[in-house]
Chain A
Amino acid sequence: MDKIAIIGVAQTRYERRKKDKTYYDLVYEMTRDALVDAGLQISDIDNVVTISNDFMDGRTISSMAVGDAAGAYDKNISTVEGDGTFGAFYGAMRVLSGFKNTLVVAHAKGSEGDNKIITNGMFDPIYQRHLGLESISSSALQANAYMDRYHISEEDIALVSVKNHANAKNNPLAQMPMSLTVDDVMRSNKIADPLKLLDCSPISDGAAAIIIAAEDQVEKAKKKPIWIKGVAHCSDNYFLGDRDLADPRALRKAAKKAYAMAGITKPMEEIDVVELYDAFTYMEPLWLEGLDFCDPGTGIELLKNGVTTMNGPLPVNPSGGVLSAHVVHVAGLARIIESVLQLRGEAGDRQVNGAKTALAHGINGPCGQSHCVWVMSNQK
């Protein structure tokens, strides 16, 4: 892969509801701010990828609402419907194909629609939709399959909520900075066993943007470029009953490819910080297994042993993760942006000292069916 880098980033504050802003407003602000961050003008951007979802926005061709706001007038533009990591990957492909600077911008307002009806739309119209499945109950099936197989307790996964909400206290943009105990999580409302309210990510509004540049463009940027070393995505089968929900094999395959591109052979030793898509507490240990940081079933041990805490050798979700702000589709881009901030040394109170290599991860579809893995570094 040719050398390409992220040279500009921007994200909104993540909130339960941004009543005064349309998604057009959010996209405009992020486009403007990412340009400022990179020190570029809109005329430096030669193509745009927007990320939106027609179900979230309540609008067919949701991309039509934001082209102007993304500065895409008279430019090559396209739209990915899916997580920000996937949209950003398409943006990266365009740079690798010869564009100079791709602006990638994602938005969503969870406050505007009905999250259960929207996520019910992920399920098969003929065999699943009428059963009333949505994101939480389907994920609960996965949590149960995983936790039952490896004897992981509800208290164990509650630790993830405690850690990530505490990390969020150091992130001024996070929606849910909280000081929690395992007891608080255990006592929160039961939603779909084993998931309780504090095992679940919130509904959020927000937007984010990044600028991906070709090697010969990075010197124009005012910030330190963060190099994209490896990216890969992979999807598992669709029907929940066709999958082994406790085995994130699609993630393992994507990670293997991304690591190979980045020349990483020992992820635990070579990666300094991880931002992954923890839409639910159980996902963090499960995805860490898929990312080959540990053996199947032992993801939670990393947390219990302090490996993934802020002071540990592999801090996971220093931003507070998706549990602390979950703008659907923006969330993966936010993972990339947090990685960039960490690698630039701009992560403030949550800075992981000396971070050189970071991993960002996003998911699409029910129960993490499809994964996208990013490896980035501040070393060329």
Chain B
Amino acid sequence: MAQRVAIVGTGQTDHKSHRPDVSQREMIQEAVMRALADCDLTIKDIDAFVIGNMDHFESINYVDTWSVEGAGAIMKPIMKVTTGGTTGSTVAIAAYYHVASGLFDKVLAIGWEKNSESDTTAAIITCSDPIWDRFSYSGAIPSLATEASAYMKQYGATQEDAARVAVRDRNNALNNPHAHLRRPITMEDVMSSPMLAYPIKLLDVCPRTDGACAVVFAAENSAKKICQKPAWVKACSVRHTYTWFGDSSDYTSGLVSLKRASQEAYEKAGIRNPAEELDVAELYLPYTYAGLKWIEDLGFCRPGEGAQFVADGHTNMDGKIPVNPSGGVISTNCIGATALLRVAESAIQIMGKGGNRQVPDVKQAIATGFGGCFWSDVMILGAAMP
């Protein structure tokens, strides 16, 4: 019989551009130890592990078996699940199914990346099709630039609108002791930063980060014992719908995968009006324009209204639905951990452990993952047991 699942603990490293002081495995262990400490468990309490990252970013094959000492999985079940940028959410969802299936009681989800160890663009290029795309592909920015310019053309959004997202997220990061980029920025800073590919400027995009995240999922009965305020998984949904870059280019319809995934998740969670019913959102926004457009696809506002919604302050810390209290992806981007950090931060908000970044009285939160070929993952967490 499928069982209810909750997040009972989270751990993350203090994210940095470089972590020369720890090897990859030691960095993973740091996050795992923090997750265990967060819920007062020991490694012996964990029944199974799910881990993910990007193989060619650090050149590690079989990350599952390679990591066991750091993960704490010696003589335990461990599985590797990986799907590119969505890896972190994919790992979280896999950990959820491990527990929901009734086969495991407490499962640790781990995502990590040490981007300082390779040429990130070179590594990203290897995700393109070797026959058709790798010859000309130059990384993620051009396709995002395409989406951004199409959106601007369609709805008249401006570079300033996008800059507001950067200012919001980066300044939120000041409240997050774990965030990588923790310097306040202004609209002028964003607007005057170098143009990478029109309309995307340097401060519109995510950094590359060394870091790891670990999240403990537990079955109903244990969750209640371990944790006073567990973050219950109310729904998760995935759309990895495209295989070819050239197929995901219908930008006028929005981010279709996110629309479909969130609709399914809302239905499962019984949410009709997301902006009203969700109290906080941790969104995988790899660049600022996504912070305008994708909140429309998530149904926070109507198509074309994203820029105004953000400008009106609805996504600020004191707004209707605060987005990215953690500082989000443009403040911290350890790729294999990035989407898991969204899940962890959402859980932190439900548990009320957000410190300076806590949104008051969070009952329902949404986390998203983005990656691959314009793919989307969604997880909805709640304070009340579903």
Tell me whether B102 and A96 are in contact (CB under 8 A): yes
- Report the minimum CB–CB distance from B270 to chain A (whole Å): 16
Closest to B24 in A: A125
- Report the minimum CB–CB distance from A214 to chain B (whole Å): 10
Tell me whether B60 and A90 are in contact (CB under 8 A): no
Instruction: Say whether B55 faces chain A, with CB atoms less than 8 Å apart.
Output: yes
Q: How far is the CA of A77 from the CA of B82 in the complex (A)?
A: 11
- Report the minimum CB–CB distance from B301 to chain A (whole Å): 24
Q: How far is the CA of A235 from the CA of B59 in the complex (A)?
A: 21
Closest to A76 in B: B238
Q: How far is the CA of A98 from the CA of B236 in the complex (A)?
A: 12
Q: How far is the CA of A60 from the CA of B120 in the complex (A)?
A: 12
- Residues of B near A68 (CB, < 8 A) are 242-244
CB-contact partner of A365 in B64, B127, B243, under 8 A: B64
- Report the minimum CB–CB distance from B232 to chain A (whole Å): 15
Given contacts A64-B84, A121-B61, contact A232 B77 (CB under 8 A): yes
The count of chain B contact residues (Cβ–Cβ below 8 Å) is 60
Instruction: Say whether A238 faces chain B, with CB atoms less than 8 Å apart.
Output: yes
- Report the minimum CB–CB distance from A176 to chain B (whole Å): 25
Closest to B54 in A: A60
- Report the minimum CB–CB distance from A257 to chain B (whole Å): 9
Q: How far is the CA of A24 from the CA of B132 in the complex (A)?
A: 14
Mind listing 11 A-B residue pairs with CB under 8 Å? A64-B84, A67-B242, A78-B93, A81-B81, A81-B82, A97-B101, A119-B61, A121-B60, A235-B77, A237-B68, A366-B62
Tell me whether B66 and A90 are in contact (CB under 8 A): no
Instruction: Say whether A80 faces chain B, with CB atoms less than 8 Å apart.
Output: yes
Tell me whether A81 and B80 are in contact (CB under 8 A): yes
Q: How far is the CA of A90 from the CA of B101 in the complex (A)?
A: 10
Tell me whether B97 and A370 are in contact (CB under 8 A): no
Closest to A97 in B: B100
- Residues of A near B69 (CB, < 8 A) are 237-239, 242
Given contacts A63-B83, A78-B93, A235-B74, contact A365 B100 (CB under 8 A): no
Q: How far is the CA of A59 from the CA of B56 in the complex (A)?
A: 8
Closest to B89 in A: A78
Instruction: Say whether A324 faces chain B, with CB atoms less than 8 Å apart.
Output: no
Chain B residues 34 to 59 lying within 8 A of chain A, measured CB to CB, are 54-59
- Report the minimum CB–CB distance from A250 to chain B (whole Å): 6
Instruction: Say whether A355 faces chain B, with CB atoms less than 8 Å apart.
Output: no
Instruction: Kindly specify which of A50-58, A270-278, A305-313, A331-339 makes contact with the partner chain.
Output: A50-58
Tell me whether A96 and B2 are in contact (CB under 8 A): yes
Chain A residues 50 to 104 lying within 8 A of chain B, measured CB to CB, are 53-55, 58-61, 63-69, 72-82, 86, 89-90, 92-94, 96-98
Tell me whether A72 and B127 are in contact (CB under 8 A): no
Chain A residues 237 to 255 lying within 8 A of chain B, measured CB to CB, are 237-239, 242, 249-250, 253-254
Instruction: Say whether A165 faces chain B, with CB atoms less than 8 Å apart.
Output: no
Instruction: Say whether B79 faces chain A, with CB atoms less than 8 Å apart.
Output: yes
CB-contact partner of B97 in A79, A93, A249, A253, under 8 A: A93
CB-contact partner of A124 in B66, B78, B94, B127, under 8 A: B66
- Residues of B near A235 (CB, < 8 A) are 64-65, 68, 73-78
**Besides A1-B102, A77-B238, 8 other CB < 8 A contacts?**
A60-B84, A64-B373, A65-B129, A78-B240, A79-B90, A82-B79, A98-B2, A236-B68
- Report the minimum CB–CB distance from A21 to chain B (whole Å): 13
Most buried by A among B1, B65, B238: B65
Tell me whether A60 and B55 are in contact (CB under 8 A): yes
- Residues of A near B55 (CB, < 8 A) are 53-55, 60, 81, 121
Residues of A within 8 A of B (CB): 1-2, 24, 53-55, 58-61, 63-69, 72-82, 86, 89-90, 92-94, 96-98, 118-119, 121-122, 124-126, 231-239, 242, 249-250, 253-254, 364-366, 369-370
Instruction: Say whether B227 faces chain A, with CB atoms less than 8 Å apart.
Output: no
Render B1-45 as a binary contact track against A, CB cut-off 8 A, 1 for contact.
Answer: 110000000000000000000011000000000000000000000
Q: How far is the CA of A179 from the CA of B273 in the complex (A)?
A: 69
- Report the minimum CB–CB distance from B70 to chain A (whole Å): 9
Q: How far is the CA of A69 from the CA of B127 in the complex (A)?
A: 17
Chain B residues 233 to 253 lying within 8 A of chain A, measured CB to CB, are 237-244
Tell me whether A60 and B56 are in contact (CB under 8 A): yes
Q: How far is the CA of A373 from the CA of B241 in the complex (A)?
A: 32
Given contacts A59-B130, A65-B243, A93-B98, contact A54 B56 (CB under 8 A): yes
Closest to A242 in B: B69
- Residues of B near A24 (CB, < 8 A) are 243
Q: How far is the CA of A76 from the CA of B375 in the complex (A)?
A: 11
Residue pairs across A and B with CB atoms within 8 Å: the count is 190
Q: How far is the CA of A124 from the CA of B101 in the complex (A)?
A: 33
Q: How far is the CA of A82 from the CA of B79 in the complex (A)?
A: 8
Q: How far is the CA of A82 from the CA of B75 in the complex (A)?
A: 17
Q: How far is the CA of A59 from the CA of B123 in the complex (A)?
A: 9
Render B183-217 as a binary contact track against A, CB cut-off 8 A, 1 for contact.
Answer: 00000000000000000000000000000000000
Instruction: Say whether B306 faces chain A, with CB atoms less than 8 Å apart.
Output: no
Tell me whether A74 and B239 are in contact (CB under 8 A): yes
Sorted nearest first, the 3 A-B pairs with minimum C-beta distance are A365-B65, A121-B61, A96-B101
Most buried by A among B66, B69, B76: B66
Instruction: Say whether B126 faces chain A, with CB atoms less than 8 Å apart.
Output: yes
- Residues of B near A67 (CB, < 8 A) are 240-243, 373
Tell me whether B238 and A90 are in contact (CB under 8 A): no
Tell me whether B61 and A53 are in contact (CB under 8 A): yes
CB-contact partner of B75 in A58, A61, A94, A236, under 8 A: A236
Tell me whether B101 and A93 are in contact (CB under 8 A): yes
Closest to B77 in A: A233
Closest to B117 in A: A125
Given contacts A97-B101, A236-B75, contact A369 B65 (CB under 8 A): yes
- Residues of A near B81 (CB, < 8 A) are 78-81, 90
Tell me whether A77 and B74 are in contact (CB under 8 A): no
Tell me whether B240 and A72 are in contact (CB under 8 A): yes
Instruction: Say whether B385 faces chain A, with CB atoms less than 8 Å apart.
Output: no
Q: How far is the CA of A370 from the CA of B76 in the complex (A)?
A: 9
Tell me whether A61 and B74 are in contact (CB under 8 A): no
Tell me whether B77 and A78 are in contact (CB under 8 A): no
Chain B residues 214 to 271 lying within 8 A of chain A, measured CB to CB, are 237-244, 260
Tell me whether A94 and B97 are in contact (CB under 8 A): yes
Q: How far is the CA of A98 from the CA of B128 in the complex (A)?
A: 34
Tell me whether B126 and A82 are in contact (CB under 8 A): no
- Residues of A near B94 (CB, < 8 A) are 78, 90
- Residues of B near A254 (CB, < 8 A) are 77
Instruction: Say whether B103 faces chain A, with CB atoms less than 8 Å apart.
Output: yes
CB-contact partner of B54 in A54, A66, A69, A97, under 8 A: A54
Tell me whether A125 and B59 are in contact (CB under 8 A): yes
- Residues of A near B77 (CB, < 8 A) are 232-235, 254
Tell me whether B241 and A73 are in contact (CB under 8 A): yes
Closest to B58 in A: A125
CB-contact partner of A2 in B67, B102, B126, under 8 A: B102
Q: How far is the CA of A94 from the CA of B83 in the complex (A)?
A: 17
Tell me whether B103 and A1 are in contact (CB under 8 A): yes
